[in-house]
A and B are shown apart, each in its own frame.
Chain A
Amino acid sequence: MSVLDELVAGAVEDQKSREKDVPLDEVKRMAFEAPSPIDARQWLKKPDGIPVIAEIKRASPSKGHLSDIPDPAALAREYERGGASAISVLTEGRRFLGSLDDFDKVRAAVRIPVLRKDFIVTEYQIWEARAHGADLVLLIVAALDDDRLKSLLDLAHSLNMTVLVETHTREEIQRAIKVGAKVIGINARNLKDLKVDVNKYNELAADLPDDVIRVAESGVFGAVELEDYARAGADAVLVGEGVATAADHEQAVNRLVKAGARVKASEQTPLASHEGPYFGQFGGRYVPEALITALDELERVYTEAKADPEFHKELARLNQQYVGRPSPLTEAPRFAERLKEKTGLDARVFLKREDLNHTGAHKINNALGQALLVKRMGKTRVIAETGAGQHGVATATVCAMLGLKCRIYMGQIDARRQALNVARMRMLGAEVVEVTLGDRILKDAINEALRDWVTNVKDTHYLLGTVAGPHPFPSMVRDFQKIIGEEAKQQLQDWYGIDHPDAICACVGGGSNAIGIMNAFLDDDRVNLYGYEAGGNGPESGRHAIRFAPGTGELGMFQGAKSYLLENSEGQTLDTYSISAGLDYASVGPEHAWLKDIGRVNYSWATDQEAMSAFKDLCETEGIIPAIESSHAVAGAYKAAADLKAKGYKHPVMIINISGRGDKDMNTAGKWFGYLTDEQAKALEANGAQGNNADGE
Chain B
Amino acid sequence: MTNATASTPSGQPLGISHKPSPTESMFEKFKAADKPAFIGYLPYGFPDPEYSLKAFRTMVEHGVNAVEIGLPYSDPVMDGPVIQAASQIAIDNGEKIANVFKAVETVANAGGVPLVMSYWNLIFHYGVERFARDFENAGGVGLITPDLIPDEAGEWIEASDRHALDRIFLVSPDSTEDRLKIVADNARGFVYAAARMGVTGERSTIDASPEELVTRTRKAGAKNVCVGIGVSTAEQGARVGSYADGVIVGSALVHTMLDESGKHAVDEAAGLKALAAKTEELAEGIHNARN
Contacting pair A458 B157 (CB below 8 A): no
The 8 Å CB contact of B124, one of A246, A248, A571, is A571
Residues of the A chain whose Cβ atoms lie less than 8 Å from the Cβ of B170: 288-290
- The distance from the CB of A173 to the nearest CB of chain B, in whole angstroms, is 23
Contacting pair A570 B175 (CB below 8 A): no
Known contacts A289-B172, A437-B84, A451-B199; is A567 also within 8 Å of B121 by CB?
Answer: yes
Residues of the B chain whose Cβ atoms lie less than 8 Å from the Cβ of A223: 154-155, 157-158
Provide the bound-state CA to CA distance between A556 and B122, in Å: 9
- The distance from the CB of A697 to the nearest CB of chain B, in whole angstroms, is 17
Residues of the B chain whose Cβ atoms lie less than 8 Å from the Cβ of A296: 176
Known contacts A286-B152, A289-B170, A570-B96; is A246 also within 8 Å of B121 by CB?
Answer: no
Contacting pair A285 B151 (CB below 8 A): yes
Does A669 have its Cβ within 8 Å of any Cβ on chain B? no
Does A255 have its Cβ within 8 Å of any Cβ on chain B? yes
Provide the bound-state CA to CA distance between A288 and B120, in Å: 10
Residues of the A chain whose Cβ atoms lie less than 8 Å from the Cβ of B75: 438, 443-444, 447, 558-559, 573
Contacting pair B97 A194 (CB below 8 A): no
Known contacts A290-B174, A293-B179, A454-B77; is A246 also within 8 Å of B161 by CB?
Answer: yes
Does A259 have its Cβ within 8 Å of any Cβ on chain B? yes
Residues facing B in A209-239 (CB within 8 A) are 219, 221-224, 227
Q: Mark A280-292, 1 if CB is under 8 A from B, else 0.
A: 0000111111101
- Jot down 19 A-B pairs with beta carbons below 8 A, ordered by A: A194-B11, A222-B155, A242-B158, A285-B151, A286-B149, A287-B147, A289-B175, A290-B174, A293-B179, A437-B84, A438-B74, A450-B77, A454-B199, A456-B197, A559-B75, A567-B125, A571-B97, A571-B122, A571-B125
Does B169 have its Cβ within 8 Å of any Cβ on chain A? yes
Q: Which of B12-20, B53-61, B249-257 contacts the other chain?
A: B12-20
The 8 Å CB contact of A194, one of B13, B122, B148, B199, is B13
The 8 Å CB contact of A241, one of B15, B147, B169, is B15
- The distance from the CB of A456 to the nearest CB of chain B, in whole angstroms, is 7
- The distance from the CB of A593 to the nearest CB of chain B, in whole angstroms, is 15
- The distance from the CB of B68 to the nearest CB of chain A, in whole angstroms, is 16
Does B215 have its Cβ within 8 Å of any Cβ on chain A? no
Residues of the A chain whose Cβ atoms lie less than 8 Å from the Cβ of B148: 286
The 8 Å CB contact of B175, one of A224, A292, A565, is A292
Interface size class of B (residues with CB under 8 A): 35 or more
Q: Is the interface of A mostly helix, strand, loop or mixed?
A: mixed
12 additional A-B pairs beyond A63-B12, A248-B185, beta carbons within 8 Å, are A194-B11, A195-B3, A195-B4, A219-B13, A222-B161, A223-B157, A241-B15, A286-B121, A288-B146, A557-B121, A565-B121, A573-B75
Does A66 have its Cβ within 8 Å of any Cβ on chain B? yes
- The distance from the CB of A332 to the nearest CB of chain B, in whole angstroms, is 40
Q: Mark B23-34, 1 if CB is under 8 A from A, else 0.
A: 000000000000
Residues of the B chain whose Cβ atoms lie less than 8 Å from the Cβ of A455: 197-199
Interface residues of A, Cβ cutoff 8 Å to B: 62-63, 66, 193-195, 219, 221-224, 227, 241-242, 245-248, 251, 255, 259, 284-290, 292-294, 296, 437-438, 443-444, 447, 450-451, 454-458, 554, 556-559, 565, 567, 570-573
Question: Which B residue sits closest to A191, measured CB to CB?
Answer: B11
A66, A287, A454, A571, most chain B CB atoms within 10 A: A571
Q: Is the interface of B mostly helix, strand, loop or mixed?
A: loop
Provide the bound-state CA to CA distance between A290 and B230, in Å: 15
Known contacts A195-B5, A567-B121; is A289 also within 8 Å of B15 by CB?
Answer: no
Contacting pair A557 B124 (CB below 8 A): yes
Contacting pair A286 B122 (CB below 8 A): no
Provide the bound-state CA to CA distance between A193 and B197, in Å: 44
The 8 Å CB contact of B176, one of A241, A293, A444, is A293
- The distance from the CB of A219 to the nearest CB of chain B, in whole angstroms, is 7
Question: Which A residue sits closest to B152, measured CB to CB?
Answer: A284
Known contacts A62-B10, A245-B15, A255-B157; is A293 also within 8 Å of B174 by CB?
Answer: yes
Provide the bound-state CA to CA distance between A251 and B188, in Å: 14
Residues of the A chain whose Cβ atoms lie less than 8 Å from the Cβ of B199: 451, 454-455
Residues of the A chain whose Cβ atoms lie less than 8 Å from the Cβ of B13: 194, 219, 221
- The distance from the CB of B150 to the nearest CB of chain A, in whole angstroms, is 9
Residues facing A in B33-61 (CB within 8 A) are none
Provide the bound-state CA to CA distance between A248 and B184, in Å: 13
Q: Which 4 A-B pairs have the closest CB atoms?
A: A571-B125, A223-B154, A222-B158, A455-B198
Residues of the B chain whose Cβ atoms lie less than 8 Å from the Cβ of A289: 149, 169-172, 175, 179, 183
Residues of the B chain whose Cβ atoms lie less than 8 Å from the Cβ of A245: 15-16, 18
Residues of the B chain whose Cβ atoms lie less than 8 Å from the Cβ of A572: 73-74, 91, 122
Contacting pair B155 A224 (CB below 8 A): yes
Residues of the A chain whose Cβ atoms lie less than 8 Å from the Cβ of B96: 570
- The distance from the CB of A384 to the nearest CB of chain B, in whole angstroms, is 16
Question: Which B residue sits closest to A284, measured CB to CB?
Answer: B152
- The distance from the CB of A112 to the nearest CB of chain B, in whole angstroms, is 23
Contacting pair B197 A290 (CB below 8 A): yes
Known contacts A194-B7, A290-B194, A447-B75; is A458 also within 8 Å of B97 by CB?
Answer: no
